[in-house]
A = this chain, B = another copy of it.
Amino acid sequence: MPTIFFYGPELDNEKKKELIKSFTETASKLTGVDKSAFVIYLRPSSTDNVGVGGELLRERSKRENR
């Protein structure tokens, strides 16, 4: 039954697969719960829907990349 939510940047398919595989193996080993019981939700968030330190992430990233 363990359930994991990952809020972060959009990933390409290969990286999604690697993240899901690694998280599931690590968490299964540590909890003793069979891998088949794990569900992971990837919840991508665009930088104009995230605030960090009081600012829109999109504006902060733009400024830092200048």
A residues engaging B (CB < 8 A)?
1-9, 11, 13, 15-28, 30-31, 33, 35-45, 48-57, 59
Contacts and interface: CB of A to CB of B under 8 A. Distances in A.
Nearest to A40: B51
A42 B51 contact: yes
A36 B39 CA distance: 13
A60 to B, nearest CB: 10
B17 A8 contact: no
A45 B41 contact: yes
B50 A39 contact: yes
A1 B43 CA distance: 13
A9 B22 contact: no
